[in-house]
Each structure stands twice: as structure tokens, then as C-alpha cells.
Amino acid sequence: MLRYLGGRLVQAVVIVAIVATITFALIHLAPGDPFSAVMDNPNVNERVRTTLRAQYGLDRPLPEQFVRYVGQLARGELGWSFSHDRPVREVLASALPNTLLLMAIALAGSFALGILIALVQVARRGSATDHALSAISLVFFSMPDFWLAILALLAFTYWLPLFPVGGAVDPVMHDYMGFGARIADRLRHLLLPALTLTVLAAPGVARYQRAALLDVLPADYIRTARLKGLTEREILRRHALRNALLPIISLLGLSFPALLTGAFFIEKIFAWPGMGLAVVNAIGTRDYPLVVGGVILGSIMVTVGSLLADLLYAWADPRLRAR
């Protein structure tokens, strides 16, 4: 078990190192440098440009720049964000909790909803309900994240104004509210983005879990349970679902990239102040350091997520635990 953990940890570190190398290559293969987009225009003094480039070491040979870059990354330095006029690390750090909150709610919600749908489908396999739920899952599974978010915004803030248009809090009134009203205000703003991300992620879970459940149903212990006289419901809940839990944990690790990219679009469309919104807005302002910082942080999040899922798997699977 310890050896497995150690190996997995080393692997995660190697992955992050390779990601850092790839992003470094990205930065330096591109035409110009991080300053080109904002600095290379006649309004900026030539001396300012050369000084700034020298300050950031952009005039040094590449290997030296690489060593510096890795050193900075190791200390958590991600460079300077032009559009925010603050270190990239601070911009991302202040936005990250909002993104994590959104992702956590959507993760919990989509797994609960997805597993529930799968259970209903398997309990009535082959019925009209099963087919209808499969079809609905497929429709939502095929929807681009940003399109569903736009439709949700259109439907539930403009046509049927149930929710506020965007942001995390009411821009004017929030500061004048009492404590309870502030929390209610935050929840009201959180609900629609979180629900949208949940609905986007749930079909994948449902489809995967339905297949996992159908995989265990032919097993001998299910037949034994049936012969013992257990009802179909009990068989599903106590035998099938338990054995189909391991695939759920695998799926947990696999679902982070999709959840993160979903969050990017959803934050943009609902103006939810997370790292997705920060990075997407940085595209418009050509704030390259912030974009690259977002790519690195996103990759680290995915790596850590799949590491955690693997650990959970090792803990949950008695066969692995014994090793």
C-alpha cells in the first residue's frame, strides 16, 4: 500500500514537471514573447521594453531561462498579470475558491443525480422509462457546455426571471444586507451556474454507471441473492450498487478535466468570478502570463484530482488495500 502511494505520488510530480516543460515550450515557440501583445507598439518607449525584458530575463539564453522558470514555478511564482496589474498567483488565488465551490457542488450533484438515474434505469431495464432516460441523457451528453449555459441564462434569467443575471453577489445591494440576507443573496447567484454544471456532468455519470451496474448483474452472487428471495430493489441497493462503486471512483478521477472546462464556460457566461472567468477574460486582453498560469493551475488541479481518486480507490478496494 505504502509503495503504491509513493509510486503514485512520484508519478504526479513527474506529470507536473512535464506540464511545466510543455508550457515553457509553448511560451517560447510562440512568436514574440509575453510582452509582445501589450508592449510592442509605438506608444511604448524602446528603453522601457528592453528594461522590462531584461528584468524578466527574456534576453538570456533559453536553458538559463528554463532553469529560472522552473525555480519560479517551484516557489509558486507565475509571473505578472498585465490586465489586473497584480501577480498572476494573487489573481488566481482569489478566484480559485469560487471555482472550487462551483466544481464541488456540481461534482456532488452530478454524481448523486447520475447514480440515481442509472439505478432507476437498471431497475426497469428495457422499459420505456429506461429508453426515455437514455435518450434524454444522450441529448444532454451531446450538448456543448457553453450552449446549454447560454440557454439556461436565456430561459431562467430573461424569459422566466427566476435568477439574477450573473456575478456572485448583487453588485449594489449586497453590502447593505444583513448577514442572513447576504447568504441568501450568494445562494441565489450560485444556484443557476451550479445547476447548469450539474446537468452537464450528470449524463456522463448516468451512462457510465448504468453500464457498470449492468456489468455486475450477471454475476453469481447476484443470482444467489435472487435465489435467497431478496427483492430486485434490495439486490440493486445492497449487492449491485456496492460492487459498482469502484467504477464510480474511477469515474471521479476521469471527470475532473470535463468539469473544469465546463466551469470555464459557465463562469464566463454567468460572470461567476472564478479562475475560468479570469482566464477567459485574459484571452480578450491578451494577458498571456495569466492564461499560462491558468493552464498550469488547471493541470495541477486535474493531476491532484486524479491522484485523490486513485488514493480513494486504493482505500476502497480491499484487494489493493492488502498490498
Partner 1 sequence: MPGQTQDFALANPARPRESPLALSVRRLLRGRSSRVALIVLGIIVLVGLLAPFIAPYDPSAQPDIVALKDLAPSLAHPFGTDPYSRDVLSRVIYGARLSLLIGVLATIVSLTLGVAYGAIAGYAGGWVDAVMMRLLDAFLSIPRLLLLIGVLVAWPRLSIGALVLFLGFTGWFGLSRIVRGQVLALKHAEFVMAARALGASRRRILLRHLLPNLVSPIVVAATLGVAHVIVLEAGLSYLGIGVPQPQASWGNIIQDGADQVATLWWMSLFPGLFMVLTVMTLNILGEALRDAYERRS
Report the residue number, 71 or 144, with the smaller CB distance to partner 1: 144
Bridge partners, residue 86, by sequence: 81
Binding flag, residue 294, partner 1 (CB under 8 A): yes
Per CB under 8 A, contacts with partner 1 among 128-167 are 138-139, 141-147, 150-151, 153-154, 158
Bridge partners, residue 87, by sequence: 80
* Dihedral (Cα; 240, 243, 244, 250), 10-degree rounding: 170
Q: Which of 292, 309, 310, 313 binds partner 1 (CB under 8 A)?
A: 292
Please report how close the Cβ of residue 165 comes to partner 1 at its closest, in angstroms: 9
Residue 291 contacts residue 26 (beta carbons within 8 Å): no
Binding flag, residue 295, partner 1 (CB under 8 A): yes
Residue 157 contacts residue 192 (beta carbons within 8 Å): yes
CA distance 52 to 58: 9
Q: Which of 1, 5, 14, 187 binds partner 1 (CB under 8 A)?
A: 14
* Number of alpha carbons in the 13 Å side-chain half-sphere of residue 156: 18
Per CB under 8 A, contacts with partner 1 among 299-318 are 299, 302-303, 306
Q: Which of 1, 5, 9, 26 binds partner 1 (CB under 8 A)?
A: 26
Report the residue number, 30 or 54, with the smaller CB distance to partner 1: 30
Place of cell 511560451: 27
Please report how close the Cβ of residue 146 comes to partner 1 at its closest, in angstroms: 5
Instruction: Render 90-159 in DSSP notation, one character per residue.
Output: HHHHHHHHHHHHHHHHHHHHHHHHHHHHHHHHHHTTTSHHHHHHHHHHHHHHTS-HHHHHHHHHIIIIII
Give contact residues for partner 1 (rule: CB under 8 A): 11, 14-15, 18-19, 22-23, 26-27, 29-31, 37, 138-139, 141-147, 150-151, 153-154, 158, 257, 260-261, 264-265, 268, 279-280, 282-284, 286, 288, 291-292, 294-295, 298-299, 302-303, 306
